[in-house]
Structure 1
């Protein structure tokens, strides 16, 4: 009788195992580091104070007393959790208020709130798309978009990052596939921090009779006069069929949403397995997100948007002035994400460690999060960073870069 192959065999000796082992032994693993206090511009992490340049807390609202009070109020009123799905016992008046205000903010008919941003993408894409349909995605799209595409079993036609000639070619091919066609792109790409050329994308999509979905996770609360994202900034809101966003960045909480036409949102509400078969957001997260959204939509919002983008421009100019290779958006649009290209994975990890030891925390992106040979340090800023803190960070980068290059050779 044949013996079954051990399904766990793949976890031993996989391509990353030796790298992980070596990184752990040398204490160079840049992931799963312990935060020991609030997620502010300067944090306590593993027993030391470090300047935080690796957070998506773009507006700094996780420390806002109104957001914290709203989370406490929600716990006091509803308890720590709802222990059920939205379909059954997990819908609060807070959910309904949040969904109504999100739809109004996005300028859409309705919105639906999911427990996480990842679930928002897989819940929408895995439900709206079906075998026989075609989905066209930018190669730089977030992993949750790819997961949703794969879950749907629709035909996936990717195109090289922001290459609109390739998008056009994929649209032409999709027209021969026989099913519905959806194009999905990030508004702001999470690793590179660049912005999708949405006006031309929308024009191509419309010209081929397809639909367009934009993931605004890193753009809402940052771009546009009312902070409604890249679609607003670039004037294409009316041409975007679905907008996705998260609460775990500018909205200082955890969760996500899809905004769009009533019939599509209603279909998701009764058909999306990621919505129907998962527990509802805990009350504190909904209360906090609603309070943060109201701050963003108040007269304070534009001041916060301006501050975070000014900080990003300041950091980008400072890093470039040090001779570091900073990713530039061809459009010139500034976002809170300021990536520094290193190239080699190990060099990126070693540079991360040197910065970490010197008191600056940044994120490391290596393959497959970025293309092979495209390792980068992903820095990001908050509206609550001040110039003195950013100057300290830049001074640290300068010292670390000089010492690093003397030992390991020039950076790109």
Structure 2
């Protein structure tokens, strides 16, 4: 007799026999196969969760080899040992002021480690003036020049520098590196062309990089190489006059090269400037106060010639840009 139950939702009777297999109709082989298969599945499931890792026992020979390797291993140092004569372990002490000569551990040496080529360090007149200035103004301007860092001595110095160089105005910078590095991108922009000597100092290199202009490097003091590049640019300008009308061309050199110590061939540079209509930057950081009868640098030697822009370093801490 079939078992019947009533569905609570629909109220219709449901026969349970439809869900229970008829075991009487199954053969013994089929029933045995299904029983074995069910047992295998149950065994696999339980053995998976209850499995314990088996410990592998090493043979005595392998164990001895392992111990021998551990005993023979010597770790290498993370850093090499510092020799006893290393300079860091034997510091030298400087006595006195860093002037033309310097005392190190009681011995006198010629000081070639600083840019004191004008001999201003140790000058008693400069030291006395510096003390008076510090007592009056403090040790710094405490702010940028364009905001609240300008005091009367800045303006007086700019006026005197302009008169000394024979130009209309001079702009005083508080940080020497920033003078040429900011002046170049202030004039040159994307789309312009800058012809730069390969021997220029690092500040000029960063300045031309910041301008985003196209940079053409010519061999150091090689005017033939420079003229070749200028001639190539002139041919490009003839092919595209509209673009050439918007493209400005600059040359960047140093009056006295900081890295090499030689002079730029200024007369030839000015000749190429007028021939190819190129503006010129000349960094007189080292030559100012050194070259010329009046100490005006390369500009002082060729004062009758026009410069679009002249850049120079004033002593050691400040630079100025005469316009």
Structure 2 length-normalised TM: 0.66
Q: Mapping of 1:10-409 within 5 angstroms?
A: 27=86, 37-45=96-104, 48-175=107-234, 176=236, 178=244, 179-233=247-301, 235-236=302-303, 238-247=305-314, 251=315, 253-260=316-323
In structure 2, C-alpha distance between the alignment counterparts of 1:114 and 1:107, rounded to whole Å: 19
Q: Deviations over 1:6-51 (max 9, x none)?
A: xxxxxxxxxxxxxxx99x977479xx99755423121134664322
Residue-pair matches, total: 232
In structure 1, C-alpha distance between the alignment counterparts of 2:210 and 2:229, rounded to whole Å: 20
Q: Provide closer, same or farther for how the CA distance between residues 74 and 151 of structure 1 changes in structure 2, counting only shifts above 3 A.
A: same
- SS of the equivalent of 1:238 reads coil
Displacement of 1:56 in angstroms is: 2.1
- SS of the equivalent of 1:72 reads helix
Q: Deviations over 1:251-271 (max 9, x none)?
A: 3x41111112xxxxxxxxxxx
In structure 2, C-alpha distance between the alignment counterparts of 1:33 and 1:116, rounded to whole Å: 30
Is the 1:198–1:236 Cα contact (8 Å) retained in structure 2?
no
In structure 2, C-alpha distance between the alignment counterparts of 1:33 and 1:180, rounded to whole Å: 52
Q: Provide closer, same or farther for how the CA distance between residues 118 and 199 of structure 1 changes in structure 2, counting only shifts above 3 A.
A: same
Q: Which runs of 5+ in 1 are unaligned?
A: 1-20, 261-412
Is the 1:116–1:246 Cα contact (8 Å) retained in structure 2?
no
In structure 2, C-alpha distance between the alignment counterparts of 1:185 and 1:78, rounded to whole Å: 36
Displacement of 1:170 in angstroms is: 1.9
Displacement of 1:173 in angstroms is: 3.1
Displacement of 1:241 in angstroms is: 1.7
In structure 2, C-alpha distance between the alignment counterparts of 1:164 and 1:100, rounded to whole Å: 36
Q: Provide closer, same or farther for how the CA distance between residues 56 and 77 of structure 1 changes in structure 2, counting only shifts above 3 A.
A: same
Is the 1:185–1:213 Cα contact (8 Å) retained in structure 2?
yes
- SS of the equivalent of 1:49 reads strand
In structure 2, C-alpha distance between the alignment counterparts of 1:105 and 1:224, rounded to whole Å: 13
Structure 1 length-normalised TM: 0.52
Q: Deviations over 1:43-63 (max 9, x none)?
A: 134664322134322221222
Is the 1:122–1:147 Cα contact (8 Å) retained in structure 2?
yes
- Output the aligned Cα RMSD: 2.5
Is the 1:39–1:57 Cα contact (8 Å) retained in structure 2?
no
Q: Deviations over 1:136-178 (max 9, x none)?
A: 1100011111100000101111100000011112222334363
Q: Provide closer, same or farther for how the CA distance between residues 46 and 231 of structure 1 changes in structure 2, counting only shifts above 3 A.
A: farther
Q: Deviations over 1:349-386 (max 9, x none)?
A: xxxxxxxxxxxxxxxxxxxxxxxxxxxxxxxxxxxxxx
Q: Which runs of 5+ in 2 are unaligned?
A: 1-78, 238-243
Is the 1:221–1:227 Cα contact (8 Å) retained in structure 2?
yes
Q: Which has the larger radius of gyration?
A: 2
Q: Provide closer, same or farther for how the CA distance between residues 87 and 121 of structure 1 changes in structure 2, counting only shifts above 3 A.
A: same
